[in-house]
Amino acid sequence: MTDQLKSKYKILKEIGQGGFSRVYLGESLKDQKKVAIKVISKTNDLCEMKDIQKEIKIQKQFESPYIVTFYDMYETKKEIVIVMEYVNGGELFDHIVQKGSFTEQEAANIIQQVLIGLKVLHEKKVIHRDLKPENLLLFIDEKGNTTVKIADFGLSGLIDNSEDMKRFCGTEGYAAPEIMKNVPYDWSVDVWSLGVIVYNLVSGYKPFDSDDDYELYEQVVAADYEFFSPEFDCISDECKDFITHMLQAKAKDRYTVEMLLEHPWIKGNAPKVEITDLQSHLREFNAKRKLRRALLAAKSAVKFAAFAGED
């Protein structure tokens, strides 16, 4: 790490890692404010390095309580170091599992915050393109109040870049039909992904799920999902309506972020009753999600080790 970084921040401990990066908890020497420090190892892949630079450029634009804040960037011959806001509550779904009970009203409050964050992105002509549970983080203040923050802009794109709006990217099960079909798209892909998350959040299940890639593709492009019983028996009609307006196969039929913010479920009609059996379903969903992520990280680590061995 650079001397310039060390003159401003103190490294406390490692808190995460991927195939090409490590994340540390740090502290500002100026005011003792906690920060997250992401150290990315450079590769010879020029496209990958270009994407990292684009991610930094995009994230620097935003000042919103609902988006993880970018602070600093440092670069050496071997590394790129990004200093960001430290979000102390971790991943949203982990917090809900640990919490012990959860209501639709709490879900609606969470999704309202994500929608406000998305509105900020879209007003800057930025599309996230990889909304999923692990990219929603939770900040908890001294009084116990919580704020959901959108994180990880590694796959984000600019709406004005026509070539960028054709790029195949995202995470299977969350990517919109038009991305899966490899046709041009717009910011409505974020609405689709958030619709999948809302379905996850109130049921503990994914609306589109199959071990067979083609079957999953067919489910997504046709928006072929159901509100299964008994998982959705206790979920309000307003919530189901909200999800339905997001998970439309045709992008033009989806609600915009502004329309969703005015939906009755968001505006205060969500029930305050605990969602039955959600914790056990979410716990199982979370375990599967983390196992899959660990396997992908292991593959990336092998790839990086092979690359490093070539130097």
Q: Is 277 a catalytic residue?
A: no
Residue 210 gets the label, from left (phi > 0), alpha (psi -120 to 50) or beta, of: beta
Distance CA 135, CA 156 (A): 12
CA distances in angstroms from 13 to 25, 37, 81, listed in the order given: 5, 10, 15
299 has binding-site annotation: no
User: Which residue from 198, 189, 194 is spatially nearest to 238, judged by alpha carbons?
Assistant: 198
CB 196 within 8 A of CB 174: yes
Q: Return the SS3 of 27.
A: strand
Amino acid, res. 136: L
Which of 51, 130, 160, 233 does the annotation list as catalytic?
A: 130
Q: Strands of 156-275 (E only): list them.
A: 157-158
User: Which residue from 166, 167, 179 is spatially nearest to 217, judged by alpha carbons?
Assistant: 179
Amino acid, res. 310: E
How many Cα atoms within 13 Å fall on the side-chain side of residue 251?
Answer: 16
Distance CA 286, CA 35 (A): 26
CA distances in angstroms from 100 to 53, 165, 234, 301, listed in the order given: 40, 40, 17, 35
Length of the chain: 311
Residues involved in catalysis: 130
Binding-site members for ATP are 38
Annotated binding site: 38
